[in-house]
Amino acid sequence: MTSLSLLLWIVSAIVLQVAIFLAIGFWHHWRNYQSLRGSLAADLAGPAAPPEPNDVGAAAWTGYRTFRVDRKVVEDAAQSVCSFYLVPEDGEALPPFLPGQFLTFRLELPKVSGDSEQVVRCYSLSDAPRPEAYRVSIKRLPLGRSSNFFHDQVRVGSRLQVRAPAGHFYLDRSDSPVVLIGGGIGITPLLSMLNWCLAEQPGREIWLFYGLRHGCELVMGAALKELAAAHPNFHLHLCYSDPEPADQLPHESSHRGRIDLSLLRLTLPLKPYHFYICGPASLMESLVPALEEWGVPDSRIHFEAFGPASVKPRPAAAGLGAVPAPRRAVEAADIVVTFARSGRQFAWRPGAGSLLEFAETNGVAVDSGCRAGGCGTCQTTIRAGEVVYRQTPDYDPDPGSCLLCVCEPKTSVTLEV
């Protein structure tokens, strides 16, 4: 064999290898493209199938039920997040719930005068449904009376009044890959989704982007890292906005900075994901519009804000008992909202949000808990007029009353508050 023919053989072998490599790459991209196209076509053809409630869509019990704290566990190095394991005092079975739902607590908070004051607060369940106990994980907030009450005064053996799990922010049961995005203590419902998904849909691809300031705030860090090591289809990404030297950056699964679209685009292969986002309002307000601009259909973006967020509200999915707003008999500009006890009256503005947000914007004080129709704290008597619900509440308001956090006026309305 001459040196020329040897050279030709070598070149041919290299060209063949490159061609095979390119063909495999092209085939992978083509498969992703076809899967993405099929999913987008389904989205365009009509509303996506609603998340399928797993036979626990209705409230598991009515009113409040007494639970006992069985265990209390600190979950982060900063000791600012504590988990409470709750068992029903009546010893009856513990109903399951949808991963991502919350519990509503009626608390008796002590006052300086020696009396106590009743407040209602909602906290996300932070674990998959398990027969032995519910778990909530609560962050101590400097001015948070209820969170400080939990941390300082709720102990093993304490009794708590708890409403049934509720909420419409829960994981769908399709086999689409899922991206969970949590900011700060917004991680808690996502932990429930993650644990449920790994247990019940072990083959499903799942990504978790967890935004926090530094490693001391990492909640259940060891458990998350163990899960990532044990499940090849679970991808954990920690995003530190103010990292400390111990956080060992950069690292392939740890990033400096906040979670944003450029990080998602760099990290996620092109696939038809469902996105679940929970965290402070600023996270929603930056990420939700960015995902929409990226081309993610509305039906694949699910979010829940802690505190008020100005992300446009979504109607509840069909099949969840949504009550679509009917055509208005009265133009919005003609609608007047009267807060009777406060003695104040305002012209309704389209896009003002819920009646709760409208009241707060106008300086009318209204008690609220979940802000999602789940706890009943904002229930108010309607003296005159009609309201329309933006989504089906989990709490059944008394006849003649409404839940301000999930409704808006249909006509001019006079409210008791």
Q: Beta-strand (E) ranges in 145-184? A: 159-166, 178-183
| Comparison of 200 and 360: residue with beta carbon closer to ligand FES | 360
**Tokens 């006026």 sit on residue:** 409
Q: Which of 368, 390, 402, 407 binds ligand FES (CB under 6 A)?
A: 368
Asked whether 205 and 273 are in contact (CB, 8 A), the reply is no
Sign of the C-alpha dihedral computed for residues 388, 390, 392 and 397 taken in this order = negative
371 binds ligand FES (CB under 6 A): yes
| Comparison of 102 and 210: residue with beta carbon closer to ligand FES | 102
402 binds ligand FES (CB under 6 A): no
Least distance in Å: CB of 330 to ligand FES?
A: 24
Asked whether 126 and 180 are in contact (CB, 8 A), the reply is no
100 binds ligand FES (CB under 6 A): no
380 binds ligand FES (CB under 6 A): no
Least distance in Å: CB of 368 to ligand FES?
A: 4
165 binds ligand FES (CB under 6 A): no
Cα–Cα distance for residue pair 231/235, rounded to 1 Å:
8
Among the listed ranges 23-31, 208-216, 296-304, 376-384, the one in contact with ligand FES (CB under 6 A) is 376-384
Q: Which of 80, 192, 299, 377 binds ligand FES (CB under 6 A)?
A: 377
374 binds ligand FES (CB under 6 A): yes
Least distance in Å: CB of 398 to ligand FES?
A: 12
Cα–Cα distance for residue pair 178/342, rounded to 1 Å:
46
Asked whether 74 and 81 are in contact (CB, 8 A), the reply is yes
387 binds ligand FES (CB under 6 A): no
75: exposed, middle or buried (Cβ count in 10 Å: 0-12, 13-18, 19+): buried
370 binds ligand FES (CB under 6 A): yes
Among the listed ranges 54-62, 173-181, 202-210, 366-374, the one in contact with ligand FES (CB under 6 A) is 366-374
Among the listed ranges 18-26, 38-46, 334-342, 364-372, the one in contact with ligand FES (CB under 6 A) is 364-372
Neighbours of 378 (CB within 10 A): 28
Q: Which residues contact 290 (CB under 8 A, 6 or more apart)?
A: 260, 261
| Comparison of 179 and 403: residue with beta carbon closer to ligand FES | 403
Asked whether 192 and 103 are in contact (CB, 8 A), the reply is no
Cα–Cα distance for residue pair 22/31, rounded to 1 Å:
14
Which DSSP string corresponds to 330-353? S-GGG-EEEETTTTEEEE--TT--
| Comparison of 215 and 376: residue with beta carbon closer to ligand FES | 376
Among the listed ranges 227-235, 337-345, 357-365, 368-376, the one in contact with ligand FES (CB under 6 A) is 368-376
Token pair for 366: 């209204």
Task: Return residues touching ligand FES (CB under 6 A).
Answer: 368-371, 373-378, 395, 403, 405
